[in-house]
Amino acid sequence: MTGHVRRRGARSWELKFDVESDPATRRRKTRYASFKGTKREAEIELARLIAVASRGDNVDPSRETVSAFLDRWLRDWAAVNVSPKTAETYQHHLKHVRRHIGERRLQQTRPVDLAGLYATLSRDAGLAPRTIGHVHRILHRAFGHAVQWSLIERSPADLVSPPPVPSREIEILAKGQTESLLTGLQGRAILHPLAVLALATGMRRGELCALRWQDVELDRSRLRVEQSLEQTSAGLRFKAPKTRHGRRAVTLPPSAVTTLRAHWRAQQEQRMALGMGRASASDLVFATWEGKPRSPNALTKEWSVAMDALGIPHVTLHSLRHTHASQLIAAGVDILTVSRRLGHGSPAITLTVYGHLFSNTDDRAAAVAETAFGARGDPL
């Protein structure tokens, strides 16, 4: 196979190369691709394309449809670089794209096509702006890789925006509501200690479901978040935190330690009564009565039923995480500590979600500034 590089601009090149002959006409097939970078980089890319074509894996980028590209992207990138749950979510949201613009050729897809797609999903399919935003972010990532792979010169998702998402108040429990919630859950073997721990640590649902006794150090009043439990169509799967900040140590307040000790005793008594023997260090803190992992989805349903019974259906498991964060912020805990305790990738994420809660510190900021004027209150 042969090929050559032709300059098209200051840093853009046309890559032309031959692939196998057409059996019907016995004439060679010529393929073209665009590339941005130095000439040396273009030559390396040309060599890669020729090698791919020689293996029979070549796809004519000028004829590839959006659906075909998304299939390839999910198989070659998403399946390798994201968790099965995330890949499953991508597949679910992209079905809307396939239905409306899947047969359009990738290289002919324009920003106006995506704008029309988002309008159709909103007007005809009745999708919420938040869902359409998820579709847009997935397409933005996929088309970004299409640019990197020299399938298109520019991503159409760069020049269009999804519908704005209406702001939504984060559900946070007041002190009296927290006490009523915990009182109402008294006697529930799993939900009560789980709620106490969620309120005390801000742990996510999957992290709570994956917590093992070996991760808990009651004598030192701390625990370690080492893994999370994920539920996909293929079943349950333990996974490591997605970032290094997700794997963290969290100090426990005395009330949480007391609750966990009582839960430990109750769990051992139940296991002994069932003839299962004492739990080992590797056993889950919030396992089912059989000692198996508790499905995150089943836990959510159990929680929802309990909240309906208590007359507070708006309180979700994630509300407990928000409540923990708001309590730390109200107490004046610095943003870096809050971020680390929640397992966020950076304090910027924490500020994006909870920044509005810091407004109650403005009076304190004014008092601090006042000290700069000295004892008489006059400017220095």
Residue 58 is predicted with a pLDDT of: 53
Please state, in angstroms and rounded to a whole number, the distance separating the CA atoms of residues 350 and 357. 11
Average pLDDT over residues 234-263: 92
Spans of all domains in the chain: 3-53, 66-159, 175-312
Q: What superfamily in CATH does domain 66-159 come from?
A: Tyrosine recombinase, N-terminal domain (1.10.150.130)
At 336-378, the pLDDT tens digits run: 999 999 999 888 888 888 876 766 556 666 666 766 675 555 5
Residue pair 91/77 in contact (Cβ under 8 Å)? The answer is no
Higher pLDDT, 3 or 184: 184
Residue 380 pLDDT grade (very low, low, confident, very high; cuts 50, 70, 90): very low
Residue 45 is predicted with a pLDDT of: 82
At 291-350, the pLDDT tens digits run: 999 999 999 999 999 999 999 988 999 999 999 999 998 888 999 999 999 999 888 888
CA max distance for the chain: 97
Task: Report the 3 state secondary structure along the chain.
Answer: CCEEEEECCCCEEEEEEEEEECCCCCCEEEEEEEEECCHHHHHHHHHHHHHHHHCCCCCCCCCCEHHHHHHHHHHHHHHHHCCHHHHHHHHHHHHHHHHHHCCCEHHHCCHHHHHHHHHHHHHCCCCCHHHHHHHHHHHHHHHHHHHHCCCCCCCHHHHCCCCCCCCCCCCCCCHHHHHHHHHHCCCCCCHHHHHHHHHHHCCCHHHHHHCEHHHEEHHHCEEEECCEEEEECCEEEEECCCCCCCCEEEECCHHHHHHHHHHHHHHHHHHHHCCCCCCCCCCECCCCCCCCCCCHHHHHHHHHHHHHHHCCCCCCHHHHHHHHHHHHHHCCCCHHHHHHHHCCCCHHHHHHHHHHHHHHHHHHHHHHHHHHHCCCCCCC
At 126-169, the pLDDT tens digits run: 999 999 999 999 999 999 999 888 888 889 999 999 999 887 66
Average pLDDT over residues 74-90: 92
- Second CATH level (architecture) for the domain 175-312: Orthogonal Bundle (1.10)
Please state, in angstroms and rounded to a whole number, the distance separating the CA atoms of residues 34 and 29. 17
Residue 118 is predicted with a pLDDT of: 96
Burial class from Cβ neighbours inside 10 Å (0-12, 13-18, 19+) for residue 23 reads: exposed
At 189-247, the pLDDT tens digits run: 999 999 999 999 999 999 999 999 999 999 999 999 999 999 988 899 999 887 788 99
- What is the β-pairing status of strands 3-7 and 235-239? unpaired
Residue 186 pLDDT grade (very low, low, confident, very high; cuts 50, 70, 90): very high
At 14-64, the pLDDT tens digits run: 888 887 655 555 567 788 888 888 999 888 888 887 877 776 555 556 678
At 110-129, the pLDDT tens digits run: 999 999 999 999 998 899 99
Residue 24 is predicted with a pLDDT of: 53
Residue 151 is predicted with a pLDDT of: 87
